[in-house]
Amino acid sequence: MATIDLTTADFKEKIFNYETEWKFKGSLPVIIDFYADWCGPCKTVAPVLEELSNEYDGKLVIYKLDTDMESELSNAFGIQSIPTFLFIPMEGQPMLQRGALPKNVFQQVIEERLLKTPAPENGTEKI
């Protein structure tokens, strides 16, 4: 699966309506790439995100949001520099990270924050 273009309307429908309390609507963890076509670092990261989208197909969804076209959503998140990435786990709060990241850092965040299954309540893990 390739990265998916995201609009403000799509965001409100598929991720959450940021005008209300945080409530994630997705069925898989999400990474949102806030980018612009004129941004050099954004262009550098784009192929990495395409690779990750294929590698983690069925485990997470990677969206691209053009900050020039979707300024309302960019302003809602206070995006002031691009690229900026919003990592949304299934449970817990989303995490915002500014700046171009290498593939290994994306993989680490995906494995440790987005795909990690929470430990059972009683503190013992099943094998």
The region, left, alpha or beta by phi > 0 then psi within -120 to 50, assigned to residue 20 is beta
Annotated active-site residue 39? The verdict is yes
> Of these residues, 15, 42, 48, 73, which one is catalytic?
42
- Asked whether the CA dihedral 21, 10, 96, 37 is positive or negative, the reply is negative
> Of these residues, 6, 39, 65, 82, which one is catalytic?
39
Annotated active-site residue 68? The verdict is no
* Structure tokens, 11: 């965001």
Active site residues: 39, 42
